Amino acid sequence: MPLPGMIPLSKTGYPVEADLTDHASDTADQTTYSFASQSFGVAADNRHVVVCVGGLAGAGARSVSSMTIGGVAATEVVEIALNAVACAIYIANVPTGTTGTVSVTFNASMVRAAIAVYRVVFIGSAVAHDTATNVGDPASVNIDVPAGGVGIGFSINTNITSVTWSGLTEDIDVDPAENFTYTSAHREFYAEQLNRPVSVDSVSAGVNNHLVVASLGP
């Protein structure tokens, strides 16, 4: 039985820890993007690497087909695929190495792609506690996060514009090329969160943000 005031963590015994370790983009027309020398942070047996990815095509339905992280096949956590835009979160247990290649394959050729890399430790399962997606200006969702867990969000839009987050703490906001901005955010929570509002809003009006959010528990 936990002492008064302590989180009753059922599996790992520790709250989840998450940190952004790297991010990158590529504006070449490709189906498979290989982002080399990405930092995964300090190696650990219980280290999972979470990679958020977004891609934009000129036209046609697009989605993420597969991903490897440091040579390890990653599992999809959540994805939103709408018309020529795909936005997703993937996860893999990568216990060794401090850097590696993140390889992302889409179902067809894209014109832009970007990733955000997170080192996550002390999760009880690689299966998300909760996930949510939305497209809008702003894009808004509600997400449950268990006590001692973490929420991670990622968004892309088809404009050059800065964004503001609520509900999670912004980590990056990058516009590497014309008609393409990517951004990510996360937050660790001591107390359980039920239907926590999370949103991302473009400073420029009328810009659709494609948002994916996932929570992981201890």
Tell me the per-residue pLDDT of 57-92, one tens digit each, with 9 for 90 and over: 988 899 999 999 999 999 999 999 998 999 999 999
pTM reported for the whole predicted model: 0.94
Report the pLDDT averaged over residues 28-38: 97
Predicted confidence (pLDDT) at residue 178 exceeds the cutoff of 80: no
Q: Are 125 and 11 in contact (CB under 8 A)?
A: yes
Place 11 in a pLDDT band, splitting at 50, 70 and 90.
low
pLDDT reading at 48 higher than 60: yes
Going by pLDDT thresholds of 50, 70 and 90, the confidence category of residue 34 is very high
Q: Whole-angstrom Cα distance, residue 185 to residue 20?
A: 9
d(CA 55, CA 63): 8
Q: How confident is the model at residue 4 (pLDDT cuts 50, 70, 90)?
A: very low
d(CA 82, CA 100): 30
Residue 6 pLDDT > 70: no
Most confident of 5-19, 94-108, 201-215: 94-108
What confidence score (pLDDT) does residue 167 get? 98
**Which candidate, 13, 7, 11, 18, places its Cα nearest to that of 151?**
18
C-alpha to C-alpha distance for 193 and 25, rounded to whole angstroms: 32
Q: Tell me which of 181 and 205 has the higher pLDDT.
A: 181
Q: How far apart are alpha carbons 24 and 61 in whole angstroms?
A: 23
Pair 43, 96: CB distance under 8 Å: yes
Chain-wide mean pLDDT for the chain?
Answer: 93
- Of 214 and 175, which is predicted with more confidence? 214
Name 165's bridge partners: 200
